[in-house]
Structure formats: structure tokens, C-alpha cells
């Protein structure tokens, strides 16, 4: 299924140069040595979760598939590589015809993962698989970090809607990817129109303080907004005095006022006061939206407050203090002289070792269907785990087979969380909620 078949209006441009130079210099040397055509298996995984996190969230898989499909070296790109003497002519000729023809398996988007989980497995020749390393890690590390933060915030919100509004706090293209990842992780809407255009994410937004300030009075601003957008709009009430603004908002829009937004001050105290004031004015159905540098801890602290939804920006798009997942992409197996796969692994001090072998992963559950361990192995799969396998085919023989609507990833994450022990969503610091068992 292509992006066009999914109804997505924007195609991804060439991703060929979203890579580190040493990927291509390795390629050149491998072409010369003959190792370039050796069958190889790479795996993306993380050795540990960010401090305090109890699970990770797989996000960006759909973008990885787009990136692999669009990893093409056209004439301008090849001219750049030639001009900068990055690789020799023989390598340029090989790159000109590059098309990934191997297989990719991975955890489906929205699934949770743990230390050592083979989140993505790329199989093909060494040459065609090694050059994908940088772009794969760039996408997975960023999107999974945002999705994990979003998931924690959604858990803290306890079912109340969350709005992603971080576009002004990150790179303009990263903001679109962050909106997508946040949607996978549990956010319901975004303020980012590019995210809505590209991925079909619902968008929302009304006004900022500048709209109030440009009018002669706050009442003038509220009147203009209600007349233009209707009584169901959301009015920002903390530009001057909150109580005065709420009174004016209800006077202008009536009890049909959709919502008021509070963006500063003691949100817990103000939410209670505003709710009481709205009720006293007959606007019992008017909702309260809070923003202002929220993170999962601030959201949790408002659990008992009469808040109807939250808007989150900076903390979300920076991964709430963990902007990367520290995923790596390692060669774990390659063909031996007889053509059979041979496990390979880096041996190093300082916690940077890896485990060789082409791996499978499964999640063992107890008699109640609750997950109790992440089981990873490279040998035969135990019979009791066959139906619990996590890796699914994403690319087969160079053809994408695993693309799906974004909504599927979002729903999968809800299901994945529901299958974990209840302690998974606790915000208190702790170890991964599931142990990783190696077979």
C-alpha cells in the first residue's frame, strides 16, 4: 500500500543523503573487498531505557518505510558525492542503481519495547543494509522518544484529551514528525496544520494573547472571536484578570461557550475558581483547557482539578527530558563461507556489547493474559511462545508489505499498554516493567 493509497497528500523526498559519510566509505571498501554482497542481518535495539522509564514505545515505523522506499541517488545527489570526492566512480555507479531488495521485520508501530528488543531487523546484502543505518536510527530514536513521552502524559491525563502544540519549540520538520508520534502515543489532536495535511491528524486552535492585545479591550476581542468562530469557540482568559475575563466570556457567548483556556498562574487553584465561576454563571457545560509548560508530572498534579483537556508543547517535543531512545543499529549475523548465517557481535567494555544472532522476540503472558517477560532468542522458538511473537513483516523482497493507517498504530498502543502490568503507567522512577529474558 503506497502513501497515495492511504490518502496521504505529501510524498517523502529522497532520503539518500540523510546519512553519515562513513556509511558510504564503508560501502566503497566493502565493494572492493567483496564483502558488499555478503548476506547480512542488522538489528535496531536499545541496551537500556531512558532513566526512570518503565517501557518504550515504537514509533516512526511508517516513516522508516517511506524513507527506505525513497532512498534513491538521483543525478544531483550523485554529482554532489562526485564533486566532494566522497566515494569513487565504481561506488557512484553502484549507488545510481540502489534499490533495497531485502527483507525488514520489526515491532509494529505503537507496540511497546524493552532493553534488547529487536525493534527492527534488516536483512539483505551488507551493502544495501548498511547504508540505511543513519536514517533508520534518526527516525526511530526521535519518534519513539516523543511517543514514549506522549504515552506517559496520556496515562497521567486519565482519559482527558491532550492537544499537541509544540511546533514553536522544535525544528519545523521535526514538529510534524513529533505530532505524528504524539498521536501514536495517545494525543488526540494537534495545532500543527502540516501534521493534519500530511497524516490526517485532527487539528485544533483558536487564539493567542496577541489577539486580545491587538483589540482595544478584552470584550472587543472576545466579541470578535465569538462572532467569527461561533459560541462553541475557546476563549483565552488569562491575558489580564481571569475572573473578569470569564465573566465577560459568558456574558458575550452565553452558556453555550465551548471552553475557556488558562495559560498561566497556579493552574490548580485557577481551575477550581474558574469552574465555580462558570457554574455560578450558568455555563456548566463550558469546558476548561489548561496549557503552560505542562509535562506528565504537572498533568498528574491536576488529576483532581476540574480540567477537561490539556495542551502540551515544549516538554512533549523534547521527549520530556529524554529526546532520544539511544537505539543502535548493529550487524548481528552475516553469511559464512558456506552461505549459512554466522552470529557476530561487538565485544567491548563500558556496556556497549551486543548479542549476536538473528533474533526473534515474544512476550510471555500469565494465566490472566498480563505480560510477564520479554523473551528474546536466536534459536528455535518455544512452542508456548509461537503465538506471542512480536516481529511482523514490513518489507519483503524490497516491496513494502507492512504499511498501515496511522490510526492502527494508535489503537495498537492502547492495546499494548492494556496488556502490561498496572505499574507500567506509574510515574515514579523504576526499572522496566518487564524483565528481558534471553534464550
pLDDT tens track, the chain, 439 positions: 555 565 555 555 789 999 999 999 999 999 999 999 999 999 999 999 988 899 999 999 999 999 999 999 999 999 999 999 999 999 999 999 999 999 999 999 999 999 999 999 999 999 999 999 999 999 999 999 999 999 999 999 999 999 999 999 999 999 999 999 999 999 999 999 999 999 999 999 999 999 999 999 999 999 999 999 999 999 999 999 999 999 999 999 999 999 999 999 999 999 999 999 999 999 999 999 999 999 999 999 999 999 999 999 999 999 999 999 999 999 999 999 888 999 999 887 666 778 899 999 999 999 999 999 999 999 899 999 999 999 999 999 999 999 999 999 999 999 999 999 999 999 988 899 999 999 8
Q: Say if residue 259 is in the same domain as residue 338.
A: no
Q: Say if residue 253 is in the same domain as residue 337.
A: no
Q: Say if residue 153 is in the same domain as residue 261.
A: yes
Distances from the Cα of 131 to the Cα of 127, 135, 344, 426, angstroms: 7, 9, 19, 39
- Range 68-72 contact pairs with CB under 8 angstroms and sequence separation of 24 or more: 68/100, 68/104, 68/132, 68/395, 68/400, 69/12, 69/400, 70/11, 70/12, 70/13, 70/14, 70/15, 71/14, 71/15, 71/16, 71/98, 71/100, 71/131, 71/132, 71/135, 72/14, 72/16, 72/98, 72/99
Q: Say if residue 330 is in the same domain as residue 317.
A: no
Domain count, the chain: 2
Query: Under a CB-based contact definition with an 8 Å cutoff, are residues 45 and 119 in contact?
Result: yes
Q: Say if residue 315 is in the same domain as residue 171.
A: yes
Q: Say if residue 278 is in the same domain as residue 382.
A: no
Distance CA 79, CA 17 (A): 12
Nearest to 417 by CA among 78, 185, 193: 185
| Grid coordinates of 269 | 487553584
Distance CA 397, CA 101 (A): 5
Q: Which of 267, 294, 321 is the last residue of a domain?
A: 321
So what's the pLDDT on residue 8? 55
How big, in percent rounded to 5, are the helix, strand and coil portions of the chain?
40, 20, 40
Nearest to 325 by CA among 64, 119, 153, 175: 119
Q: Which of 289, 321, 353 is the last residue of a domain?
A: 321
The enclosing domain of 289 has a CATH number of 3.20.20.70
| Grid coordinates of 87 | 566515494
Q: Say if residue 259 is in the same domain as residue 173.
A: yes
The enclosing domain of 355 has a CATH number of 3.20.140.10
Q: Which of 303, 321, 339 is the last residue of a domain?
A: 321
Phi and psi at 153, nearest 5°, equal -70, -40
Residue 48 burial class via C-beta count within 10 angstroms: exposed 0-12, middle 13-18, buried 19 and up:
middle
pTM: 0.93
So what's the pLDDT on residue 186? 98
In DSSP terms, which residues pair with 327 in a beta bridge? 46
Q: Say if residue 183 is in the same domain as residue 315.
A: yes
Q: At what angle do helices 75-83 and 89-96 cross, to 10 degrees?
A: 160
Q: Is 212 within a domain?
A: yes
So what's the pLDDT on residue 347? 80
Distances from the Cα of 239 to the Cα of 204, 221, 261, 313, 343, angstroms: 20, 11, 10, 19, 63
Containing structural domain, residue 414 = 21-131+326-438
So what's the pLDDT on residue 2? 54
Q: Say if residue 80 is in the same domain as residue 193.
A: no
Distances from the Cα of 129 to the Cα of 24, 104, 394, angstroms: 11, 10, 15
Amino acid at each position: 500500500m503506497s502513501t497515495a493509497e492511504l490518502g496521504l497528500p505529501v510524498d517523502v523526498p529522497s532520503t539518500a543523503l540523510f546519512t553519515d559519510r562513513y556509511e558510504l566509505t564503508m560501502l566503497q571498501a566493502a565493494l572492493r573487498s567483496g564483502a558488499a554482497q555478503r548476506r547480512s542481518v542488522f538489528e535496531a535495539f536499545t541496551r537500556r531505557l531512558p532513566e526512570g522509564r518503565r517501557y518504550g514505545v515504537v514509533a516512526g515505523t511508517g516513516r522508516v518505510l517511506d524513507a527506505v522506499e525513497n532512498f534513491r541517488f538521483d543525478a544531483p545527489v550523485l554529482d554532489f558525492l562526485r564533486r566532494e570526492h566522497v566515494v569513487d566512480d565504481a561506488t557512484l555507479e553502484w549507488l545510481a542503481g540502489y534499490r533495497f531488495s531485502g527483507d525488514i521485520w520489526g515491532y509494529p508501530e505503537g507496540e511497546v519495547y524493552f532493553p534488547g528488543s529487536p525493534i527492527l531487523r534488516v536483512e539483505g546484502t551488507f551493502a544495501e543494509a548498511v547504508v540505511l543505518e543513519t536514517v533508520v536510527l534518526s527516525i526511530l530514536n526521535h519518534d519513539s522518544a516523543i511517543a514514549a513521552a506522549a504515552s506517559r502524559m496520556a496515562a497521567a491525563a486519565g482519559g482527558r484529551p491532550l492537544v499537541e502544540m509544540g511546533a514553536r519549540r522544535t525544528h519545523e520538520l521535526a514538529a510534524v514528525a513529533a505530532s505524528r508520534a504524539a498521536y501514536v502515543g495517545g494525543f488526540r489532536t494537534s495545532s500543527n496544520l502540516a501534521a493534519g495535511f500530511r497524516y490526517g491528524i485532527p487539528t485544533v486552535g483558536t487564539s493567542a494573547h496577541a489577539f486580545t492585545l491587538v483589540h482595544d479591550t478584552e470584550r472587543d476581542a472576545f466579541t470578535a472571536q465569538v462572532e467569527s468562530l461561533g459560541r462553541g469557540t475557546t476563549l483565552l482568559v488569562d491575558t489580564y484578570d481571569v475572573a473578569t475575563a470569564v465573566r465577560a466570556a459568558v456574558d458575550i457567548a452565553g452558556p453555550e461557550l465551548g471552553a475557556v483556556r488558562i495559560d498561566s498562574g497556579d493552574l490548580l487553584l485557577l481551575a477550581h475558581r474558574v469552574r465555580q465561576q462558570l457554574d455560578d454563571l450558568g455555563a456548566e457545560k463550558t469546558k476548561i483547557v489548561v496549557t503552560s509548560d505542562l509535562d506528565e508530572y504537572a498533568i498528574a498534579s491536576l488529576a483532581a482539578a476540574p480540567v477537561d483537556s490539556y495542551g502540551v508543547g515544549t516538554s512533549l517535543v523534547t521527549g520530556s527530558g529524554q529526546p532520544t531512545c539511544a537505539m543502535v543499529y548493529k550487524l548481528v549475523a552475516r553469511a559464512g563461507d558456506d552461505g549459512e548465517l554466522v552470529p557476530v557481535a561487538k565485544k567491548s567494555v563500558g556496556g556497549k556489547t551486543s548479542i549476536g544472532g538473528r533474533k526473534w522476540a515474544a512476550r510471555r503472558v500469565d494465566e490472566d493474559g498480563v505480560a510477564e517477560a520479554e523473551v528474546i532468542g536466536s534459536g528455535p522458538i518455544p512452542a508456548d511462545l509461537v503465538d506471542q511473537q512480536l516481529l511482523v513483516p514490513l518489507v519483503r523482497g524490497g516491496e513494502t508489505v507492512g504499511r498501515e493507517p496511522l490510526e492502527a498504530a494508535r489503537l495498537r498502543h492502547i492495546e499494548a499498554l492494556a496488556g502490561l502490568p498496572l505499574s507500567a503507567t506509574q510515574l515514579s522512577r523504576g526499572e522496566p516493567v518487564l524483565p528481558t529474558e534471553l534464550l
